[in-house]
Structure formats: C-alpha cells, structure tokens
Chains A and B, each alone.
Chain A
C-alpha cells in the first residue's frame, strides 16, 4: 500500500494552472518564428496532420496530428492544455507523453512564446487524419511509468554557458535548448532514452539507423574549425565550409532555420561556439 502510494505520488502528472499563464495577447507573427525555430512541420508533416513513424529501440512512435481539426487534431484544446503538452509533457486527459515529443526541451521555452505558437498553429487548415497508436515494446507501453522517467530526466539542465553580458549567446542558448531542441538528436542517450548531459551536443551513433549524428560542439571532432559565420551560413544556405551540402534529416531542420532572422542564426552559431568542447563519444 505504501509503495503503491509512493508510486502514485512519483508518477502523477505535474501541470501548470491558469494562474501560471501570463496575461498575454498571442502574437501570431512571433508564433510563426517559434514554429520555424522548433521545426514542428519536420515531424508533424507540412500540413501538421502527422503520421510519420519514428523508429527507436523502444518501438515505433507515430507522430500525432496537431492540425486544428477538432476530432483527429488539437482543434479543441485550450491554451492551457497546449502549454501543458509542450512544457510539461502532459496530455489534456492527464496522461504523460512519451519524450519522443521533445517537451524536455520545450519546457525551457517562455510561456509567451508557446502561447504565440498556438495562435500560429490555430491558423492552419484542419486536417482530418486519424494517426494510429504507437507500437512499443513492453514495458514502454505503460504510460504511467513515464512519470518515473520524468523524475529522473525531465528537468536536466544543459552545461551552463557564460552568456552574461552577451545577449547573442543568451538568445542562441534559448533557441538551441528550447524550441530548437538541438540536443534531442545531437546528444547521445542512455539505455532509458535519457540524454547523457556530460556529452551535450557531442553527437553519437544515429539511433534511427545508419551513420552518426554529428558532433556540434567546438571540438576538433565537431565544429572546431567552423567560424560563427560558417555555422550561420550553413543554417541559412545548407552549405558547409567545404561547400558540401546538408543531408539527411538535417535538410528539413536547415530549411526551417533558413526562415529565421539572420540575427537568430548568428545567435545559434555564437552559442554553439561557446559550449564546452567534447570529443565524439565512444560507441
């Protein structure tokens, strides 16, 4: 009984309430910028109707429909429900989301930016498309258990970077670790799928299949030889310093980043050059 109670306590969803929402009139234009910084459409498809399958060691995750369709999408969600999904990983029915949805990064966003993002997503055409359930292996099928996972991994903080007096690095840090969720791919994960913070942005084997996810720290294994300008230009154009082109799943990410203001790409670049350099992790 005591254990069950403890388990219930540890796995209960932690959500924000209406009092936590600022008095803010959503700004759809800013929401559009947040949308591209986050690359929502890369996983949720361009019309936001979802359906993409993400394969992992835990099974196959199916990306949901987040278009404003009232039945198969999120058209009936309140702003608070949207904020709790993004920043707490909790669905409107109170269940936990799997961290394949990178709320572990989005929790670092400003509530205002999340509210603006909802306003922008609301402007999409509803797409009537019912996405099938995830197909996961036991015990990952059991959502309540994600509460325990969150206890261990949800509020992990990236290595601190000295951005005092440098608003550009601070902005880059906010974009990279919040909406941009760079670390969700560029940081290795442990056996439970939690990010290994000591290998922040140092890349590693590609969990979705062949090849490696590149190291994007300023180490020689990563972006050591790239200048801030090189990184910003890569995000704008897709061209690396040797004029090879962007490839794989980074293509969509880069094309989204290309729609941000120059200053935001420069900020991301400045942040990446300011984080601790780390070698490629051993496989």
Chain B
C-alpha cells in the first residue's frame, strides 16, 4: 500500500516534467525576448532615419513591446545560466547584479516615459526614443559579451 502510494506520488511528480523539459531554457527565453526587442526597434529607427513615415500607433506598439520585455527581462538571468546556448550574457550580470538592475531600471523608466509622452510627431518620437536607445547601448556595454562588432 505504501509502495503503491509512493509510486503514485512519484508518477504524479513526474507528470509535469515533460512540460518543464520542453520549455525554453532561460538562455533561450532571453534571447527570444531580445530578438523581439530588436524587431520592435526597426520601425522606430526607420522613422528616425527617415526611411519610413512617422506613425504614432506603430511607435506606441514598439513601446508596449519594450514595456512587456522590461517587466520580465530581469528574471531571465538566474544563477546557473551564466553559460550555454551561445549566451552573450557577461559574467558581470552575476558579479554586479545591482549595476545590471540599475541598467534595466533605466530602460524601464525610459520606456514608461515614452508611453506617457505618447509622441505625435517625429521630433517628439526622437526625444522619447533617445533615452531608450541609450539605455540599450549602456546595458550592452557593461553586461554583454562582444562578438565581432
């Protein structure tokens, strides 16, 4: 009887396992997230470069993407995910978590400000996007391993 309940318990515990295993690793999850962040930058950058017409709704959609990313990105660098999956995360994320969190907070703050500003023309977009782009660059500089660029 004990044995049977033990087996059932073990089986029950094992049930969610296949789901867990199929889920992305934090490394892959954060890479996917960053791809989304990058893709959202394309229309905004295109407007700033003058390659595509200003569109307030498209810009706002990008801000929302970034806002959603800012909400979760900090959780995607747990201990034990310092390597693997060709990660470009730098060890400073774990040795200087406070500095890393400051950078993420700067990004979140710039995105929130852009959403509040709700830019309706190109100059306003430039003013709103500037601090966001600066935050991307600032965090990459200290917390990302450089490949060839």
Residue interface mask B85-110, A partner, CB < 8 A = 1: 00000000000000000000000000
B136 close to A245 (CB less than 8 A): yes
Task: Across the interface, name the chain A residue whose C-beta is closest to B51.
Answer: A229
In the complex, chain B residues whose CB is within 8 Å of the CB of A242: 38, 42
How many residue pairs, one in A and one in B, have C-beta atoms under 8 Å apart? 50
Q: Give the contact-size bracket for chain A.
A: 20 to 34
In the complex, chain B residues whose CB is within 8 Å of the CB of A251: 137, 141
Interface hits, B1-55 → A, CB 8 Å: 38-39, 41-42, 45, 48-51
In the complex, chain A residues whose CB is within 8 Å of the CB of B149: 214, 240, 244, 246-248, 250
B49 close to A229 (CB less than 8 A): yes
B137 close to A246 (CB less than 8 A): yes
7 more CB-based (< 8 A) A-B contacts, given A242-B42, A243-B38 = A214-B148, A229-B50, A237-B45, A239-B133, A247-B141, A248-B146, A251-B137
In the complex, chain B residues whose CB is within 8 Å of the CB of A246: 137, 149
**Quick one: which of A229, A237, A247 contacts B133, CB cutoff 8 A?**
A237
A211 close to B50 (CB less than 8 A): no
- Max count, chain A CB within 10 A of own CB: residue among B38, B39, B41, B146: B146
| B147: Cβ under 8 A from any A Cβ | yes
CB of B11 to closest CB in A, whole Å: 46
5 A-B contact pairs sorted by A residue (CB < 8 Å): A211-B148, A212-B148, A243-B45, A244-B149, A248-B146
**Complex formed: what's the CA distance from A164 to B137 in Å?**
38
CB of B68 to closest CB in A, whole Å: 17
| A238: Cβ under 8 A from any B Cβ | yes
Top 4 nearest A-B pairs (CB, nearest first) are A243-B41, A247-B146, A248-B146, A212-B148
B146 close to A211 (CB less than 8 A): yes
Task: Across the interface, name the chain A residue whose C-beta is closest to B136.
Answer: A245
**Complex formed: what's the CA distance from A247 to B139 in Å?**
11
B146 close to A239 (CB less than 8 A): no
Task: Across the interface, name the chain B residue whose C-beta is closest to A229.
Answer: B49
**Complex formed: what's the CA distance from A246 to B147 in Å?**
10
Interface hits, A213-251 → B, CB 8 Å: 213-214, 229-230, 233, 237-240, 242-248, 250-251
In the complex, chain A residues whose CB is within 8 Å of the CB of B39: 243
A233 close to B137 (CB less than 8 A): no
Residue interface mask A202-217, B partner, CB < 8 A = 1: 0000000001111000
A244 close to B38 (CB less than 8 A): yes
In the complex, chain B residues whose CB is within 8 Å of the CB of A244: 38, 149
**Complex formed: what's the CA distance from A190 to B146 in Å?**
25
Task: Across the interface, name the chain A residue whose C-beta is closest to B34.
Answer: A244
CB of A202 to closest CB in B, whole Å: 13
**Quick one: which of B42, B50, B146, B147 contacts A243, CB cutoff 8 A?**
B42
In the complex, chain A residues whose CB is within 8 Å of the CB of B48: 233, 237
B45 close to A239 (CB less than 8 A): yes
CB of A265 to closest CB in B, whole Å: 12
Residue interface mask B116-149, A partner, CB < 8 A = 1: 0000000000000000010011001100101111
- Max count, chain B CB within 10 A of own CB: residue among A211, A237, A240, A242: A237
**Quick one: which of B42, B49, B137, B148 contacts A238, CB cutoff 8 A?**
B137
A233 close to B49 (CB less than 8 A): yes
